[in-house]
Structure 1
Amino acid sequence: MKMAMRKLSIASFLAISAVAPAGAQQAPAEPAIFLNQAWSQEDWEWYSNFSQGSTVLPYDIFMNLEVAGGQELFRSDANSERYGLITQKANPKFNPEGFPAGLSKTALGATRWPGGESGDHVGLTCAACHEGQLNYKGKRIRIQGGVGNTFDIQAYLGALDEAMQATLSDAAKFDRLAMRIGASTPDAKKSLRLRFEGQAEKVNAYRTRTLVTPFPWGPARMDAIGLIVNRLLTVQPDLPENWSTPLAPTKPPFLWNAPQGLWTQWRGVKQDPISRNLTETMGVYMDINLRAKSPAQGLFHSNANIADLQRVENQLGRLAPPQWPEELFGKIDREKAKAGKALFITHCASCHNAWPYTWSEPNKYGKRFVLVGLTPQSYVGTDPGQFRDLRPFALTGQLKEHLPGELRGKDLVPTGALYVGVSDTILETAISGLKMSDEEKLNLHGYREYPLPKPAEGVYKAAPRDGVWATPPFLHNGSVPNLYEMLVPAKERTKKFYIGREFDPVKVGLDTSGASGKYLLDTELLGNSNAGHSFEDSPRGHGVIGPLLADNERWALVEYLKSIPEEAGRVTPFGGPPARQLPQK
């Protein structure tokens, strides 16, 4: 840790203010290529732009805001691509504005509590981080439910702040905004300015307090845990003392097989899908009331979109992992892949599981779930930042007398416990107003049995690897550029590399040359380690998970990972296949 922190200079601390990802280009005319992942066109169009309830900015301001350094609109395709959002054409049913994947319009009614949001807003949705695009020789291959491997959320929000601050300080810029919105009279412009100042203050405070880090995360990575916890325990309840520095950037996980898996999240800490999905929405700027004095005055109320969060979960349950497109990336050597499969079964399948998967025993609802490996961090040896990210204790403030269970009435409680208590109470409040049948409630909770088991501590989840080829960079923190380097001794991995936007179908990962992306990832910085998951001639444990592989064995494993799933559009059955189809134990 000391070595990593010594590398930080003043320039590193200020880099977040200036970073602007390279590799941007004008929106290409050629349509994106979609692989067979079992979704219809309507499925992916809805998923790309449905509203989770996020309210980053009022709709009229976002639609008419200019970038900081010119008159180009912030929402333009060119600016969206500059920060790695996936641009797409408008469609009248789900995306009439032509937003990039991951932005959506949220329509709110009247203000439900003092200071709450109302009217139309623009915010983030699942596809901003959980939709991938692989660029290769001028082709764009969309990976539905994949990893947002190009989106730099930190730089994007920084640019949004700069655009708003520039509009406040430049009278001509503000006048152009007012003209586009239709605020033509002095009174209308005054009202707009007051409203704009309030929004700009929120964005600036988030960017300069909550989002500040000693060095930028770069594309494809964000400290999701740190940001969600900070928003729930610091920003929304106005308790700045609870802030934790978000020092554990991770890449977004892919979503196929997530509803079918026994545990989700990188640390294997969630089972209930609506809890997982609403918590993610809380992090991406859903409006939540955590400042009222009591639930009767609106405390724990939110604009949670439970119906669509349930719909997206059900839709993800029929999402197939993507199959390697041989016509684009080259033929698979089937003999080599066969040899790689034998190696995978020997060295990898005990953690990662392999089709047709090993399943849990049926629960009282008759549902089985895909077993996932829960490997102690002390064994696998990958970056431990996720387990050290948060301050140990947090103030409860005005939440004190309305917290659940043993948290109630206490001034200071463990940060993790407060986070769980607050997020669970927000969820319960959102669900309490809905009229749902027993079957609808079971579906909402993914047919999980309550009380839920306590998650293991200090473990990383190892899920099946079908479709993993389409999700670079690798490891939970995106610190390994390709699959080949996942199979070498950790000390031999590239320690600094550029996160490119061009796909490398040979080593199966990202272009690291700097030609298609200029963010340099330094694995010696805090949270960026690419240690662990090492194949070498050493005793197992402490980061060593397998023997030293010959080079031909590594390439055989890469070929096998390219070859799965072996069937295009193969959906893992939710709840498990019929008993006669289950693999023998």
Structure 2
Amino acid sequence: MIKLNKQALKFICLGLALSITITFIAGKAYQSWDNDPQRGAIGIENGEFNESYSTPVYLNQGWSASDSLWYYNTTQGSALLPYDFYLSLEQKNSQVPVRDNMNMDKYRYLPQKPTFFNPDGLAVGFVKETYQGKEYMGYTCAACHTSQVNFQGKGIRIDGGPAMADMVGFLTSLEAAMKQTINENEKRERFVKNVLALKNDYKNEEQVMADLEKWTEATQLYNTINHSKVKYGHARLDAFGRIYNRVLQYVLSKENVKDALIAVTSPSGRHILSQPEVDKVLEGVNETILGNDDFSLIIERLMSKEPGYPGLSVKETLYVRNALFNEPNAPVSYPFLWDIAQSDYVQWNGLAGNSGLGPLGRNTGEVIGVFGILDWTATDTGFSLSSLLTGQDHKRQHINFKSSINLVNLQRLESHLKSLQSPQWPEEILGSIDQEKAARGQRVYTQYCQSCHEVIDRSNLDRKVIAQMSGLEHIGTDPAMAENSVLYKGKSGNFEHTYQDVDVGTVLITETAPVVQTLTSATKGVVATPDADKWWIRRVADWFYTVGLSFFNNDIKASVKNGNYNPDTTANPYNSLLAYKARPLNGIWATAPYLHNGSVPTLYDLLLPVKREGDPDEGAYRPDTFMVGSREFDPVRVGFRSEGYQGTRFITQGRGNLNTGHEYAAGRTAQMNGTVLPALDDQQRWDLIEYIKTL
């Protein structure tokens, strides 16, 4: 054991204090370094969606230009692919770069010009990340939580608004571009030349090609694992399903995978893998915990036609996927972020409590999902805080949760969001609000809406936002997201037979367990692991700084959920998650499409009933199909234009896409107290819409 004398202890404590002080002062100072008055925003002429708009303007949301730019460009630890690759990669069947503004606009990411924090002019939320001496391109919060509204050639940027992004389309196109780069000589030669010309992380062609093949396999693996029969399209993502799958991918043991592969069957009940084939596929992979490289090798071997390997088809490979992972088939709208730091519970189904270290754990889980590098390995027994907090202290081996996830920045970002306010209706652009109609609409709102959607003062620094939960059987909206969060299970790996505290007691994690338990343990492990990229004193200091501020600077205390939902029980400890959350509607005008799964295009449509069997054909109903992807705003019905534009055809059929429920205004959904109010007439609907514009 190393013994330290008083002088050494004094020196270490002084170093810790100094490091914490420097971290705090430097963190505050550099946030103001990028102060471009347009916040990097640029206009688009004849974009992919035939939309043109001038340089977007910003509304008063409590943030300065430097506040917005810091938010756009602050890394979380996400690493989608090497930075040199992203700068050099061409689109499939084109010499135009993937990062070209028109291509990013196609996937509804927001183009930017170069600024101090973004010298290469990447789209909002795309950023350079450094980890273990190498540079990567990854996502920031802003990629999914910054939006834009266009009206008659004018653009309005909304900080914290729900993105219109088609992430699945972008990642699919990225995989296709990388594969073509490997396979076509001229494209490959240009790519290698452009990467080497950067004189950054690569010295020769062999290094470039080795990493291109590695990252292409990783992207293909991610897209395969997360393939879904439910089309997401624009403005939606099954983030939880993908986070769940990524956690499973990095905690599974060789034995877990072996058991699953032996059991895989086709729909007819035929086992598609023999024991010798399984043994050959798993030959040489890690025992305690598999990673990305192991899974890429397993998929390659499963599809190999060489002697001894099973030679599975793509469809059969998906049977394997289903045995190890869960189909992420519950896409939801990207949530808006204003008032999130003041909320007691967050996520669409209130899964995440916001007290104490809750925000740090929630954001850690998010970065796990958006390509944080997870260098998780199995280590021999020895004390660590992460093994203690995850219940692995009695295990023969522990998971070491080393990763690229930047806990310091996650804490700073959450703190930064405290000053973000919802956007107010810009009358000078979208038209004046009829105050007489709005006054009548306020009375309708008080009767029909306010019991769930509290009216708050957006600028009140002391505000608290209370989630009002409604059980699935009460609200009647699409159940997929809530059900998946509770019902999805997977192998728990090294977390098997560890204990975890839940609201109603302590659970003992089984071999096949709810993925929410595995995610909880994994995020605890990452939060308990200091940054791998820093000198050890700085690592410890930053960790204390981050955890201390996250805990003591959080005004939200633990509290019981409000609303009409089924409580957790010892038999069903996640019952309360089978519900959806209502929150204040300030700024809701800028967050279309509506309902948690984006299945209703405008606020006016949301006030209409769903057409049921037996309803007269001539009635007014929510649309069964509409286009998503346009940013052109409809200030009358309040939402985006949904016809006559390119984008994704949304068909409101099947689990995950249903536009049912929340029919309070149609007289078909009961209020919290069980009362069903009469349906609004058309004048009342328009009055209510006018009032909602004022929130």
The bucket for the TM-score relative to the shorter chain is 0.7 to 0.9
User: Matched residues in 1 for 2:524 and 2:509: separation?
Assistant: 17
**Contact 1:250 1:478 (C-alpha < 8 Å) held by counterparts:** yes
Counterpart of 1:429 (choices 529, 534, 559) is 529
**Contact 1:381 1:544 (C-alpha < 8 Å) held by counterparts:** no
Q: Secondary structure of 1:141's partner?
A: strand
Partner of 1:18: none
Of stretches 79-88 and 270-279 in structure 1, the one that deviates more from structure 2 is 270-279
User: Matched residues in 1 for 2:50 and 2:499: separation?
Assistant: 50
Deviation per CA, 1:1-47, whole angstroms, max 9, x where unpaired? xxxxxxxxxxxxxxxxxxxxx96269968311101111000000111
Structure 1 residue 191, shift from structure 2 partner: 2.1
Matches within 5 A, 1:171-320: 171-182=185-196, 188-207=204-223, 209-234=224-249, 237=252, 238=290, 241-270=323-352, 271=354, 272-293=358-379, 299-320=400-421
1:369 pairs with 2:464? yes
Structure 1 residue 355, shift from structure 2 partner: 2.3
**Contact 1:51 1:105 (C-alpha < 8 Å) held by counterparts:** yes
Structure 1 residue 269, shift from structure 2 partner: 1.9
Q: Percent identity?
A: 32
Matches within 5 A, 1:540-579: 540=670, 546-564=677-695
Partner of 2:179: 165
Partner of 1:494: 623
Q: Secondary structure of 2:147's partner?
A: strand
Deviation per CA, 1:286-322, whole angstroms, max 9, x where unpaired? 1123343458686222222112111111111111110
Deviation per CA, 1:146-195, whole angstroms, max 9, x where unpaired? 010x2100000000000100101111111001111227999821221111
Q: Secondary structure of 2:687's partner?
A: helix
**Contact 2:88 2:97 (C-alpha < 8 Å) held by counterparts:** yes
User: Matched residues in 1 for 2:625 and 2:634: separation?
Assistant: 17
User: Matched residues in 1 for 2:546 and 2:515: separation?
Assistant: 33
User: Matched residues in 1 for 2:582 and 2:114: separation?
Assistant: 37
Partner of 2:492: 396
| Residue ranges of structure 1 left out of the alignment (5+ in a row) | 1-21, 111-118, 360-365, 565-585
Q: Secondary structure of 1:143's partner?
A: strand
Q: Secondary structure of 2:338's partner?
A: coil
Partner of 1:463: 583
Q: Secondary structure of 1:490's partner?
A: coil
Asked which structure has the greater RCO (Cα within 8 Å, sep 6+), the reply is: 1
1:518 pairs with 2:647? yes
User: Matched residues in 1 for 2:220 and 2:251: separation?
Assistant: 15
**Contact 2:49 2:647 (C-alpha < 8 Å) held by counterparts:** no
Partner of 2:511: 411
User: Matched residues in 2 for 1:347 and 1:109: separation?
Assistant: 55
Indicate how the Cα distance of structure 1 residues 544 and 380 shifts in structure 2: closer, same or farther if over 3 A, else same.
farther
Structure 1 residue 356, shift from structure 2 partner: 4.3
Counterpart of 1:128 (choices 128, 143, 151) is 143
RMSD, matched Cα: 3.0
Indicate how the Cα distance of structure 1 residues 395 and 32 shifts in structure 2: closer, same or farther if over 3 A, else same.
same
Q: Number of matched residues?
A: 524
User: Matched residues in 2 for 1:539 and 1:122: separation?
Assistant: 46
Partner of 2:38: none
Indicate how the Cα distance of structure 1 residues 243 and 541 shifts in structure 2: closer, same or farther if over 3 A, else same.
farther
Indicate how the Cα distance of structure 1 residues 334 and 75 shifts in structure 2: closer, same or farther if over 3 A, else same.
same
User: Matched residues in 2 for 1:349 and 1:76: separation?
Assistant: 45
Indicate how the Cα distance of structure 1 residues 30 and 309 shifts in structure 2: closer, same or farther if over 3 A, else same.
same
Indicate how the Cα distance of structure 1 residues 216 and 60 shifts in structure 2: closer, same or farther if over 3 A, else same.
same
Partner of 2:85: 61
Of stretches 270-279 and 151-160 in structure 1, the one that deviates more from structure 2 is 270-279
User: Matched residues in 2 for 1:549 and 1:426: separation?
Assistant: 50
1:478 pairs with 2:609? no
Q: Secondary structure of 1:388's partner?
A: helix
Structure 1 residue 370, shift from structure 2 partner: 2.3
Deviation per CA, 1:60-83, whole angstroms, max 9, x where unpaired? 111100111110011111111111
1:339 pairs with 2:440? yes
Residue identity opposite 1:487 in structure 2: L
Deviation per CA, 1:329-359, whole angstroms, max 9, x where unpaired? 11100111111111111111111111249x9
Residue identity opposite 2:577 in structure 1: E
**Contact 2:89 2:98 (C-alpha < 8 Å) held by counterparts:** yes
> How high is the TM-score relative to the length of structure 2?
0.70
Matches within 5 A, 1:36-51: 36-51=60-75
Q: Secondary structure of 1:374's partner?
A: strand
| Residue ranges of structure 2 left out of the alignment (5+ in a row) | 1-45, 253-289, 296-320, 383-397, 532-538, 562-567, 569-573, 612-620
Deviation per CA, 1:106-155, whole angstroms, max 9, x where unpaired? 01124xxxxxxxx000011111110011122111110110010x210000
Residue identity opposite 1:381 in structure 2: G
Q: Secondary structure of 1:554's partner?
A: helix
**Contact 1:24 1:84 (C-alpha < 8 Å) held by counterparts:** no
**Contact 1:260 1:317 (C-alpha < 8 Å) held by counterparts:** yes
Structure 1 residue 541, shift from structure 2 partner: 6.9
Of stretches 232-241 and 55-64 in structure 1, the one that deviates more from structure 2 is 232-241
